[in-house]
Structure 1
Amino acid sequence: MATQFIDDKAPICIPFILNRLQLHQQAHPSSNSNSKPPRPLIIGLNGLQGVGKSTLVVPLAEALNREGIPTLVCSIDDFYLTHEQQLALAHENPDNALWQVRGEPGTHDIPLLKSVFSSLLTHAPTSLPQYDKALFSGQGDRLPPSTWTPINQQQPPQNPFQVVILEGWCIGFRPISPEAVATKHSAPSRTLHQHRLEHLLAINEKLGEYDDVTRLFDAFLHIDSENTEYVYDWRLEQEEHLRLTRGDPNAGMTKEQVVRFVDAYYPAYELYSEGLRNGLFTDKPGAQLRMVVGRDRKVKEVIEI
């Protein structure tokens, strides 16, 4: 039976966010009532697939909004390439298994992500894209702009966002040196040895494009795990939950399909998780909160970095 998930992370995160927001607002005060409001606090949130990111961001946003702190949550998943662009990427790189499906660095529309966040920083009008993972038999596609969520359409905004949270499984990952990629590739691993070194280096190079957004983060939440391989079990539980809620024993992925699905993401965990655990920021001590969870997804350790 699928494990019932109960969020125990929001009570840990809220005091941390309120403290970072206070420091942020002290550093970015409003000059006068007629000027644009100060830039919002930008928070990155990283967590393994199935660890409970989506379950966390909802109560986080609700709690902050109850405190009178307008909060916007967006997901890196909504910035995947269009289906046509993903097919083109796969066609141009037929030997690179990491780009045959969406997921790894290189399969997101980074110019679109940067454009949206540029507007969010200045409270300018923009729209959040929407992505439907179920289209094209699960390959997914971006929905037309007419369905996107309008943001800051009224100028000046009546209730400008004070907090913006960007969540995703690869948020905060930063490229490492080619030598480090080669070292990890030659060492024992779960998935890295399944790929050619040049393919991992291509992923690593593409990840550098994400840095323009990563550098915007004022604070960071990291839901880490005692064992990264728990992600396979968590994904299996999600598929079981899908079958139960739909009442269809054939819904969702089989165990073998889950392994293949997670294997497409796992190389990035093996390459970049260590760097994130060591700390994303070098100039903002205390701006990263790392929560280490066990197999039951409950927090076992909390570390401020």
Structure 2
Amino acid sequence: MAAIIDDKSPICIPFILKKLKEHQDVNGGPNSAPPFFIGLNGVQGVGKTTLVTLLAKTLKDPPYSLPVAVLSIDDLYLTHADQVALAQSNPLNPLVQHRGEPGTHDLDLASTLFTALKAEQPALIPRYDKSQFDGQGDRMDRHKWIAVNQDGQQKIKIVICEGWCVGFRALTDDEVKAKWEESKQLHQADANSSTRTTLWSLRLEDLLFVNCKLKGYDVMTNLFDAMVHLDAEDTSYVYKWRLQQEAELRQQTGRGMTDEQVIKFVDGYYPAYELFSDKLRQGVVNTKGCQLRLVVSKNRQVQDVFVI
């Protein structure tokens, strides 16, 4: 696979630094300002990890030298036992038979964590191990969580929350139904269409279940002071990117999903992209001008930049 050129950090990091300074200026300076929350959304394989790593390093290093907490939405997944219980209580809903979609995260844990970080109170940032239970995953033991804001530690001043569904907001039931019906019409009109759509293959009640669960994610989204959205010209690029990643993994380690497994895996996430991406593109941060949207091409290079 060709090397990925990082053309996102030179755009995103100055934007975040500008918004951080504005946040500090209106709150009495770096020492007095409350923690600055950053949301970072990107489809799988678009380059989130590189951006988050460089952004965190920039904020931690001089001249900013700020204590930074980085967490992934993946670290907030339900425990394995709770995920199994969710699947068993909704046996006909394929969207919650495994981790991934909204509804498979622990929102009580998220609320407790984000409330503590906002108040600069002691907190433990969870960690999740996707390899447990033959790849089904489970939360790591608490002694492996990251302790922050403890006695003797600097208070966390920057919180970066990244993930594929970070910033998604729920729709009305009518909006969900309209997207579902549009997907059915598109599929019936041309089953071989190049436009990827999966909503038609699901029951409306399954989609409404996930949408209802997403409302609880506002305990995180409402705290974001800035948002970065790494979008794609065509969301279906996620299939190609994941196939490339797994092919590279198989070549390097001899392990990894087959192409069929990759497609099935991405199918489990794709309905949420179809449902909630449009609303994210319109802006989810309460303050105007605090959301940055980068639109990338199939080769992951930035094509357009929007401030929302």
Counterpart residue number, 1:27: 26
* 2:218 partner amino acid: D
**How far did 1:192 drift?**
0.3
What is the match of residue 200 of structure 1?
207
**8 A contact 2:70–2:159 mirrored in 1:** yes
Cα distance between partner residues in 1 of 2:2 and 2:176: 36
2:277 paired residue number: 273
Q: Following the alignment from structure 1 to structure 2, what is the Cα–Cα distance between the partners of residues 77 and 132?
A: 9
Do the aligned residues in 1 keep the contact of 2:23 with 2:33 (CA within 8 Å)?
Answer: no
- Once the two structures are TM-superposed, the CA of residue 29 in structure 1 deviates from its matched residue by 1.9
Picking from 245, 248, 264, the partner of 1:238 is 245
Q: Distance in 2 between matches of 1:257 and 1:6?
A: 28
Deviations 1:36-75 (A, max 9, x none): x431110100000111111210011111212323322110
Identity rate, percent: 51
Q: What code does the residue aligned with 2:215 have?
A: G
Distance in 2 separating the partners of 1:83 and 1:4: 35
Q: Which residue is equivalent to 1:292?
A: 295
1:238 CA drift (Å): 1.2
- Aligned AA (1:127): L
Question: Which position in structure 2 is the counterpart of 1:136?
Answer: 133
SS of structure 2 residue aligned to 1:187: helix
> What are the equivalent positions in structure 2 for 1:66-215 lying under 5 Å apart?
66=61, 67=63, 68-155=65-152, 157-158=153-154, 160-188=155-183, 190-215=197-222
TM-score with structure 1 length normalisation?
A: 0.93
Other structure's SS at 2:242 match:
helix
Cα distance, 1:30 vs. partner? 6.1
Contact 1:226 1:294 in 2 (8 A): yes
For 1:23 and 1:185, the matched residues in 2 are separated by 41
8 A contact 2:127–2:144 mirrored in 1 = yes
Residue by residue, what CA displacement relative to the aligned partner does 1:129-153 show, whole Å, maximum 9, x if unpaired?
1101011111000011011111111
Show CA shifts across 1:89-114 (max 9, x none): 00000000000010001000011011
Match of 2:193 in 1: none
| 2:9 counterpart residue number | 10
Match of 2:232 among 219, 225, 228: 225
Residue 84 of structure 1 aligns to a residue whose secondary structure is: helix
Structure 2 segments unaligned to the other structure (5+ residues): 187-196
TM-score, structure 2 normalization: 0.92
Q: CA RMSD in A?
A: 1.5
Does the CA-based 8 Å contact 1:3-1:237 persist in structure 2? no
**Alignment partner of 1:38 is 2:37:** no
Q: Deviations over 1:261-292 (max 9, x none)?
A: 000000000000001111113x4111000000
* Cα distance in 2 between the residues matched to 1:123 and 1:144: 23
How many angstroms does 1:232 deviate by? 0.3
- How far 1:15 moved relative to its partner? 1.0
Q: Is 1:302 matched with 2:301?
A: no
CA–CA separation in structure 2 for the residues paired with 1:252 and 1:170: 23
CA distance in 1, matches of 2:149, 2:122: 5
Aligned residue pairs, count? 294
One-letter amino acid of the counterpart of residue 280, structure 1: V
Letter in 2 for 1:88: A
Query: Aligned partners of 1:175, 1:208: CA distance in 2, in Å?
Result: 5
In structure 1, stretches of 5+ residues that fail to align are: none
- Structure 2 counterpart of 1:26, one-letter code: D
* One-letter identity of the residue aligned with 1:186: E
4+ runs deviating over 6 angstroms: none
